[in-house]
Amino acid sequence: MRLEGETGFVLHARPWRETSLLVEVLSAGHGRIGLVARGVQSPKRQVLRAALQPLQHIRFDAVMAGELAQLRGAEALDAAPQLAGDAILAAFYVNELVLRLAPRQDPLPELDAAYARTRARLAGDAPLAWTLRRFERDLLGALGLGFELHVDGDGEPIDPAARYRLDPEHGPRRLLSDRGQSDRSAAATGSALLALAADERPGPADLASLRLPLRAVLAHHLGPRGLKSWEMAASLGRIAPSR
């Protein structure tokens, strides 16, 4: 099958053999695609190689050949965001999540749209923590792994004053008042869940409460192997929960 004029976002690129790259792309029409870009490491193909950098929005032609496609040509559709500091780590995290959770060659238009929004937010001045929580929510929803955030797993309305853990299979579960402090610190406030459901940025404390519960859901779907970006963030003491 030939792909002509397909658009997508570059998630990852790594050297392959002496002059080639293996490139992962989140495409608009075909989902996550692995591309073999032959000969792009040669000096004469600098423009093409520049178009295959992570976060770059491209238009490309390719021929599907099994699990991987042979790249025939690509061009940048805009300038990739020039990120710095924590935003670089946040972008790495977003790309790694898509690489690990999005299946190959399965069109996911909602994920493509969510990625485009997140890419723009990373390049702007949106708070990183809020940008990431919104992407995590949208990623889970696009993959069919999400759940309602305005009601709990039993269909009861979320209480803004309560705390909830997020069950990957059943959604929010209200914590009993006698649970320990460690359980409460790993649970989201009800007001934070309602804010996330309404796409309205919560206050710093509520926003910070979303990080660990959402991570637990993602870890469940990722399996025993975690993310390199989580390890990097822990070693660097980043990203600040409310930033």
Q: What is the pLDDT of residues 85-99, one digit of tens each?
A: 899 999 999 999 999
Asked if 172 contacts 153 with a C-beta cutoff of 8 angstroms, the reply is yes
Cα–Cα dist 213/165, whole Å:
6
Determine the distance from the C-alpha atom of residue 144 to the mean position of all C-alpha atoms in its chain, rounded to a whole number: 14
How much is the mean pLDDT over the chain? 90
Judge whether residue 242 has pLDDT over 50.
Answer: no
Select from 3.30.420.40, 1.20.1440.120, 1.10.1660.10, 3.40.50.300 the CATH code of 86-236: 1.20.1440.120
pLDDT of residue 45: 75
Please tell me the CATH superfamily of domain 2-76, with its number: Nucleic acid-binding proteins (2.40.50.140)
Report pLDDT digits (tens) over 28-39.
899 999 999 988
DSSP assignments along the chain, one per residue:
-EEEEEEEEEEEEEEETTTEEEEEEEETTTEEEEEEETTTTSGGGHHHHHTTSTT-EEEEEEEEETTEEEEEEEEESSPPP---THHHHHHHHHHHHHHHHSPBT---HHHHHHHHHHHHHHHTTS-HHHHHHHHHHHHHHHTT----SSB-TTSPBPPTTSEEEEETTTEEEEPPTTS-HHHHHTSEEHHHHHHHHHT----HHHHHHTHHHHHHHHHHHH-SS--HHHHHHHHHT-S-TT-
Report pLDDT digits (tens) over 198-220.
999 999 999 999 999 999 999 99
The ranges assigned to domains in the chain are 2-76, 86-236
pLDDT of residue 220: 96
Judge whether residue 69 has pLDDT over 50.
Answer: yes
Q: Which of 38-52, 93-107, 165-179 has the lowest mean pLDDT?
A: 38-52
Report pLDDT digits (tens) over 158-176.
999 999 999 999 999 999 8
Confidence of residue 243 (pLDDT cuts 50, 70, 90): very low
pLDDT of residue 118: 97
pLDDT of residue 15: 85
pLDDT of residue 181: 56
pLDDT of residue 184: 75
Judge whether residue 190 has pLDDT over 50.
Answer: yes
Task: Single out the residue of 95, 97, 102, 32 nearest to residue 67, CA to CA.
Answer: 32
Whether the model clears a pTM of 0.85, i.e. scores above it, the answer is: yes
Asked if 7 contacts 28 with a C-beta cutoff of 8 angstroms, the reply is yes
Confidence of residue 228 (pLDDT cuts 50, 70, 90): very high
